[in-house]
Structure 1
Amino acid sequence: MSRARLRLAVLSFAVAGGGIVLGARLFELQVSEAAVWSAARGDNLRRRHWLPALRGTIEDGYGVVLATDESLFVLQLTYRGLRRRHMSASLLHLDRFLRDLAAVTDQSPDPLAAVPLAFAGPPARAHAAADALLAMPVRWLHRGSGLAKRLRSVLRFYAFSIVHAVDAGRHPSASSLAVAFDAAHVDPPPGSVGQCLGDLMAQNSLREALHAHLSAGLADLDRLAALLGNELALPRSTTETGEPRGGLRQWLDALDGRLRVRARARVAARGNGDGDARSGALMRLARSYGGSLSEAANDLVVRLDERFALEKAPFRVAGPVPFDTVVALVVGRSEHYPGFSVGEEVRRRHPRTEPSGMPYRWLGAVRAGAALQRRDDEPRFLIPAPEGLDEPSALERRVHIDDHEWQLWKQQLEERARRSGQLAARRGFDGLERELDSVLTGRLGIREVLRDRGGNEREVVRHVDAQRGQDVRLTIDARLTDAMLKALAEQGAEYGEAKASMVLLDVHTGDVRGMAWIPERTTNERGISLQFRINTSARSWYTPYPGSVIKPFMAYEGLVTGAVSGDFKECTGSRYRGVLGCGCRWKGQTPSVANALTFSCNTYFAQLGERLQEAGVRRALTRFGLLATSADYERPFGLRIERPSAVPKSRWSTMHRAIGYGWRIAPLWLACGYSGLATGRRPFPRLVQGVDDHDIAPRPPTDLGLDAAHAATIRAAMARVPKVGTARKSGLSRWPICVKTGTAEVNYGNANNAWIAGWLPARAPRFAFCCVFWQVPKGVHGGAASGRAVARVFERIEADPVLAARYPLRGGD
């Protein structure tokens, strides 16, 4: 076979092999991966924008707004637009590029300024940089300059963009100016940029026009900076701490620095083997430009690409911004403020706050895209269903989306809408915002548009308006809660870092009127100060034992069962059975249930517990709703309250449990239990009294069927507590009140839980309350700590005419 025939055969085999490979690839794309690429095509032609939904308003029981959503105007910046279209920003980045270029190659133009340019620098430096650009040898813009293609393209982009800003209309764009330059100069031309491009643009006064345009751009920035002030929160890098603030120019420099640090970090991560597929693609792209790049030049190219990619995201400059000044200045004036835009933002506002200025902590927080564990019976997040998309429109037919592609797109829309909608949603993170999230959360709106291949919107396919969430009216009185917070803070100041909680409710309806706890802030293990959000009114604290506040329920059970009959050992102040101590003032007196309650005698109730046994002690608490199994437990609507239960510790004997050890009972449940003891009917706590225009009626109280004589005995004994008993130093004897104190030793006897609970007025009960100071110093008792805090609240109620009218503390007795 001749050499020519051999070459022809090899060429034929190569062409046939290439055809087979091409056919196999086409088959893979058109058949095997048809679904993937069809869905991708449909997604590229469509864009979906979520429209934010306002959450419902939360009001207290007297119409005071506690939390509401408001739409705000925020000023945003897409840095890419500023860098490419604002002359001062283009000069700044051209100067930086030339400095970086000088560090990686010996052949490069000189920088535009002696020191690096900055947005916050004097205007004279920017004007000097413009002169330096015009004086730059124009040969550096030519393809024969010796620079790598990618590096030369960046230099040409900045130079032609800056000069074209003053073009009189001869060239429609900077790229057309570059094409005209290449067509006019086959070989590298002599002279400067100003001379060459001035002649090309027929611009006789290029320098004057350039300086005038630069001055106008700087004046526009100054005008916007004056409106924004000098208190903008500056963007921070990951290594900076604190909250630096400054004006618009400082903000731009800070953002520029942050983007520069992040771009370098991405390049470094790729160098350490942590890069992704995109970074590898950028490296291959960089090597493809200009043939052989040095390692340093290659890193510069990749760093530029990473930086340009980071600039595409919008950054929040300030918000809220006033409509009649900032918004009116920026909107519709993109030629003066390139990259700047005004967006709409929805945020949660709290018109009424705690005395400290923070929102009421039981309200909770709202976060965008909060990932939460939802209960099975709780409604899922609501988004508009992809309805009305059964048939493609005429425009969709024109862009050749066939029926199969249409169905694939619809299926993927439903799945992606769930994921992206969850990220766009604003959800309750904790507190009432989370518990009532299904009520407060509105329905997101959606705007879907069809775009052509150029990315231009051609048709609005679907527009669904957002629906506002439902408003909620609580039973809580913000004014009373403020009084409780101040009283707890004043009393807690005596014990240093005090933890305390207090709750007050209506004995007949169970309406929670006040709920408060301290501290307002706490420090985590890393030393960071955080809001203390654990609602200790509805959740018991660590080592939560209620102590002697459960003795009235044990006394009633003893009266009903007859366990109080017979002889009881007299209290001597020594340890009963060598285990349980008693420090009451009722020593050497004839044992009786009334005196034991008044003076809180541990010796008497330890013996009573032994007589009642475990079943009787549990029955005493269950009767008043202070012990519940998981099967019969029901939470109030909108309130995450802990189920009252026993602490499973074998060391707690029956006599310990009879005096309040070994139980986990939240203050709110104790207040309900005392309401039942006061009226004979135990209410169910209610926190939400209405949603929109619908009232939520209180649940009928549970009739306890109390024996009138036995209940009267308990009430009479509790009425003596603030006068001669364990609360005699609390100051509560000024009001007609029935109370019981409790002091439970915790932390191995080194601290106390100081409790008090009761109701008032004594003979015509209206309000029940419970207060506890957790882990106060040893020697501080319930009457001294919690009793005085309750007295402070009552003093504030009577000193405030509004509260005095809402909460009559003395009437009826």
Structure 2
Amino acid sequence: MRNSLQSQWLEPEAPTYGWLDHPGQRLRVLLLIFLLPSLVIGYRLVQLQVSRQAEFTRVFEATTTRIVEIPARNGRILASDGSLLAVDEENFELWVHYRWLEEPPHPDWLKRQANSRLSRRQRRDDKQVAAMTTTLLDERRQQWERIARITGVSKEELDQARQSVQTRIERMKQAVLEKQNQQQPVTAQPTRSIQPARSVAEESSSHTVTAWLGWGQKLWQEFQYELTTPPPRAENGPLILAEELEAQRVLETLPKEAADEILAHPELYPGLEVRVRHHRTYPARQVASHLLGVRTPLREEEALDRAKQWPQGDPLDYRMGDALGRSGLELAYDAQLRGLRGLKRLTLDRRGQIVEEVITREVRHGADLYLSLDVEVQRTAEALLEQALLPDVIDAPGNSSTNDVDNPQKPIRSASPQGGSVVVIDVRTGQVIAAASAPGYDANVLTNPSATEWAQLTGDVRRPLYQRVTRMALAPGSTFKPLTAIAGLEAGMKAQSAIECAGYLDQPQRDRCLIFRHYGVGHGSTDLSDALCQSCNVYFFKLARMLGPSPLVEQARQFGFGQLTGIDLPFEQSGHLPSPQTNSARHPWYPGDTLGLAIGQSRLQVTPLQMARFMAAIANGGELLTPRLKTDQGPLLVTSFAETTGETTRTNVRKPSLAPQTLKEVRHGLYRVVNDAQGTAYKTVRLKEVEICGKTGTAEAGSGVADHAWFAGYAPASQPRYAIVVVLEHGGSGGKEAGPIAREVIRRMHQLGLIPSGSLAKNDD
């Protein structure tokens, strides 16, 4: 080299220079060694700051969306005077984020909460972190003390509710862990690729570049192993359920004052939410409970069935737990009453703050339903029925006050009825004024009955859940005789034509009148008016024998017997109208069936509502109306849904073809039933304030059981407005048991002004 020693005796060799021997070259190489990484680093910085900046800032700018439901209330049901019969009440619930109720608090959550309140420098100070953690624990304790104070719930009850939630979630977490351990397959660890060992000579003789390539290959193999082989999870590895990151319900009922306090001061109640749930209530309790029906939560299997029925989405947006109409008006008008929940889309930043709020579906509250029902008349009818169902009470001997028209006391009862019904309808429109069924029940109980309450209702032999207005089909007894009279008059019989009644038809032991069974005498010479007034069976037996069954059946069909009335209530029964055309080998038609049909016996069965519609047709001149509970007229006008609009107060009016004189003769006989001294309802139904027309009926129910008691009529006599029917199942005598109830209902209607005074004019019919 240039600085090596040179001998004076030796010939100097010619100098040889390498490209790195020159100091300048070495400096250039050194500069290049430092410059190239700097250029790479600079390029990377520019790339990160400019071209790829969005990829890293997206984390901070990222937002999440959440759909929030806006609760909707179902429509109210109101009576004709605007009083509430069914309404959704707001029920506030207290929901708490799981981490705020967990005890002891989750350490990671507690650490994050403490760090969020400290600066970066303070986070490195263990003392300050510990002090902030203590402060957080104190705030949690004070928060639960405030909750106990404003809600009126004891601290012990709150702790029990928190513990219940925590126990439930911990059990869920344990079940998930056990399931994962059972499903995790046992796989053998892959064998790492190991290079064969080489000798020292071979290693020392290998080139330096080859050595570096070998080490690179080993590093690549290690990297591939780490990529393809997931690290084994520890047995107690972190598992977080979705429920641990959400709010949980702690109190099902939160006082409104407490809800307002929490909503007004969210900074004092972190982690708390107040949610609104609508609960169906029936303020009138037992009043019209059978008509109103009930709403109960939708079950899981029902929700699945609705999802299959409407794969594109339930038009009423029913979900599991939503209250669905099950019976009565709640079921019949479920589409109208059902409220459709709204939807709101919230956009949240990474800190959970709301940055945007958009209503995606407006909330639609259910439309109100107005009824023609008069609450006072309904309450009076139900009270009278409940009194009639009490155990037998025998009046003192010689007490004749029950025959005094001015004395509303109940007469001596011959039996204890099993159930009863009262129906009052407007003879001009068919609107139902009252429809009582007894025994009754509190409609609020059925929304969420306890096991004891449900057992009491279903175990009662009187069947309090049974809707008797439209479903109880019984033999009508003598209340059917006006139909037989119509059939005779339409067949050409003269109302003044007399028929001799000896008290029995052919034999003294059968086909008799009640007067013959009691006194051994008959009614003598009897015309149509006398037969209706005194309820002469023999007259109608002979009339039926002359007519045959066909005219009776045809007229019964004309007046809707054996058919649905079409009232806006579900599960209505059509009753049964026997006919020779529908007889069979099992039930052949005998001559006695014709006689029984003439007096409302045989296999004939009618509902109280069918009989009320029949009486309304007699009163209004022969128009057979469709009974309705819903009315478009109310204290407030509401917008009905498309499927319920366009209704009128007179729907599906049908008028049988009758001679003008026919109904006049029948109305005269019904007037005498109540207002003639020989009438079967004279002592128990007649009122001084209002003239009443009607017919009593005592229908045989079979040997060994009491008869069914009926009264069917209308008032006032001169200008009829309302038809009324009273039925007591196994109640005994119609005149003694059902008649007084009808009288008291009409008396109450007169007091309320529904039937005005001055209706004492003589009946022109």
Q: TM class, shorter-chain normalised?
A: 0.5 to 0.7
1:655 match: 595
Give the whole-Å Cα distance in 2 for the aligned partners of 1:786 and 1:538.
Answer: 18
Shift of residue 468 of structure 1? Answer: 2.9
Aligned 8 A contact 2:567 2:627 in 1: yes
Question: SS of 1:224's equivalent?
Answer: helix
Shift of residue 48 of structure 1? Answer: 4.0
The 1:497–1:724 alpha-carbon spacing in structure 2 relative to 1, beyond 3 Å, is closer
Q: State yes or no: 1:595 paired with 2:492.
A: no
The 1:313–1:593 alpha-carbon spacing in structure 2 relative to 1, beyond 3 Å, is farther
Give the whole-Å Cα distance in 2 for the aligned partners of 1:807 and 1:498.
Answer: 34
The letter of the residue matching 1:589 is G
Aligned 8 A contact 1:350 1:359 in 2: no
The letter of the residue matching 1:757 is A
Question: SS of 1:515's equivalent?
Answer: strand
The letter of the residue matching 1:724 is Q
1:514 match: 434
Question: Deviation per CA, 1:754-804, whole angstroms, max 9, x where unpaired?
Answer: 11100111222121111111133xxx2111221111122233334x4xx13
Shift of residue 590 of structure 1? Answer: 2.4
The answer to which of 582-591 and 480-489 deviates more is 582-591
* Correspondence for 1:434 among 320, 331, 334: 331
1:725 match: 679
Give the whole-Å Cα distance in 2 for the aligned partners of 1:450 and 1:443.
Answer: 23
Shift of residue 499 of structure 1? Answer: 1.3
Aligned 8 A contact 2:94 2:252 in 1: yes
Q: How does 1:149-164 map to 2 (within 5 A)?
A: 157-158=106-107
2:627 match: 685
Give the whole-Å Cα distance in 1 for the aligned partners of 2:373 and 2:599.
Answer: 32
1:11 match: none
1:476 match: 373
Gaps of 5+ in 2: 1-62, 188-230, 393-415, 443-450, 640-644
The 1:721–1:447 alpha-carbon spacing in structure 2 relative to 1, beyond 3 Å, is same
Question: SS of 2:736's equivalent?
Answer: coil
Q: State yes or no: 1:540 paired with 2:472.
A: yes
Give the whole-Å Cα distance in 1 for the aligned partners of 2:355 and 2:139.
Answer: 35
The 1:169–1:61 alpha-carbon spacing in structure 2 relative to 1, beyond 3 Å, is closer
Shift of residue 506 of structure 1? Answer: 1.6
Q: State yes or no: 1:366 paired with 2:295.
A: yes
Aligned 8 A contact 1:370 1:427 in 2: no
Give the whole-Å Cα distance in 2 for the aligned partners of 1:371 and 1:478.
Answer: 37
Aligned 8 A contact 2:559 2:656 in 1: yes
The answer to which of 753-762 and 455-464 deviates more is 455-464
1:785 match: 737
Question: SS of 1:447's equivalent?
Answer: strand
Aligned 8 A contact 1:745 1:752 in 2: yes
Aligned 8 A contact 2:420 2:438 in 1: yes
Aligned 8 A contact 2:169 2:243 in 1: no
The 1:709–1:574 alpha-carbon spacing in structure 2 relative to 1, beyond 3 Å, is closer
Gaps of 5+ in 1: 1-43, 92-156, 181-199, 231-246, 271-276, 375-379, 384-412
Question: SS of 2:650's equivalent?
Answer: coil
1:83 match: 101
Question: SS of 1:724's equivalent?
Answer: coil
* Correspondence for 2:262 among 321, 329, 332: 329
Question: SS of 1:315's equivalent?
Answer: strand
Aligned 8 A contact 1:644 1:666 in 2: yes
Question: Deviation per CA, 1:535-581, whole angstroms, max 9, x where unpaired?
Answer: 3222225xx22222111110121122146898967343699696555
Give the whole-Å Cα distance in 2 for the aligned partners of 1:511 and 1:554.
Answer: 27
Aligned 8 A contact 2:427 2:720 in 1: yes
2:253 match: 319
Shift of residue 711 of structure 1? Answer: 2.9
Q: State yes or no: 1:256 paired with 2:163.
A: yes
Shift of residue 81 of structure 1? Answer: 3.1
The 1:685–1:749 alpha-carbon spacing in structure 2 relative to 1, beyond 3 Å, is same
Aligned 8 A contact 1:370 1:426 in 2: no
Q: How does 1:570-649 map to 2 (within 5 A)?
A: 570-572=501-503, 580=511, 582-584=513-515, 587=522, 589-628=524-563, 635-637=566-568, 641-646=572-577
Aligned 8 A contact 1:537 1:668 in 2: yes
Shift of residue 686 of structure 1? Answer: 3.0
Give the whole-Å Cα distance in 1 for the aligned partners of 2:232 and 2:177.
Answer: 21
1:229 match: 152
Give the whole-Å Cα distance in 2 for the aligned partners of 1:473 and 1:515.
Answer: 15
Give the whole-Å Cα distance in 1 for the aligned partners of 2:83 and 2:457.
Answer: 29
Question: Deviation per CA, 1:396-439, whole angstroms, max 9, x where unpaired?
Answer: xxxxxxxxxxxxxxxxx974676965447554322112212222
Question: Deviation per CA, 1:649-683, whole angstroms, max 9, x where unpaired?
Answer: 82772222222232332212211211221232323
Question: Deviation per CA, 1:156-201, whole angstroms, max 9, x where unpaired?
Answer: x44x65677667955889xx99xx9xxxxxxxxxxxxxxxxxxx61
Question: SS of 2:360's equivalent?
Answer: strand
Question: SS of 2:366's equivalent?
Answer: coil
Aligned 8 A contact 1:719 1:738 in 2: yes
The 1:170–1:562 alpha-carbon spacing in structure 2 relative to 1, beyond 3 Å, is closer
The 1:68–1:611 alpha-carbon spacing in structure 2 relative to 1, beyond 3 Å, is same
The 1:759–1:621 alpha-carbon spacing in structure 2 relative to 1, beyond 3 Å, is same
The letter of the residue matching 1:554 is T
Aligned 8 A contact 1:759 1:769 in 2: yes
* Correspondence for 1:804 among 746, 753, 760: 753
Give the whole-Å Cα distance in 2 for the aligned partners of 1:73 and 1:739.
Answer: 49
The letter of the residue matching 1:435 is A
* Correspondence for 2:608 among 638, 660, 667: 667
Question: SS of 1:225's equivalent?
Answer: helix
Give the whole-Å Cα distance in 2 for the aligned partners of 1:311 and 1:751.
Answer: 66
Give the whole-Å Cα distance in 1 for the aligned partners of 2:464 and 2:182.
Answer: 49
Aligned 8 A contact 1:645 1:665 in 2: yes
Q: How does 1:3-82 map to 2 (within 5 A)?
A: 48-70=67-89, 72=90, 74-78=92-96, 80-82=98-100
Give the whole-Å Cα distance in 1 for the aligned partners of 2:246 and 2:291.
Answer: 39
The 1:526–1:562 alpha-carbon spacing in structure 2 relative to 1, beyond 3 Å, is same
Shift of residue 211 of structure 1? Answer: 6.6
When normalised by structure 1's length, the TM-score is 0.61
Give the whole-Å Cα distance in 2 for the aligned partners of 1:525 and 1:82.
Answer: 38
The 1:623–1:574 alpha-carbon spacing in structure 2 relative to 1, beyond 3 Å, is closer
The letter of the residue matching 1:810 is S
* Count of paired positions: 591
Q: How does 1:133-212 map to 2 (within 5 A)?
A: 157-158=106-107, 169=117, 201-203=126-128
When normalised by structure 2's length, the TM-score is 0.65
Higher Cα Rg, which structure = 2
Aligned 8 A contact 2:101 2:162 in 1: no
Give the whole-Å Cα distance in 1 for the aligned partners of 2:250 and 2:684.
Answer: 54
Aligned 8 A contact 2:565 2:610 in 1: no
2:457 match: 529
The answer to which of 522-531 and 494-503 deviates more is 522-531
Shift of residue 330 of structure 1? Answer: 5.3
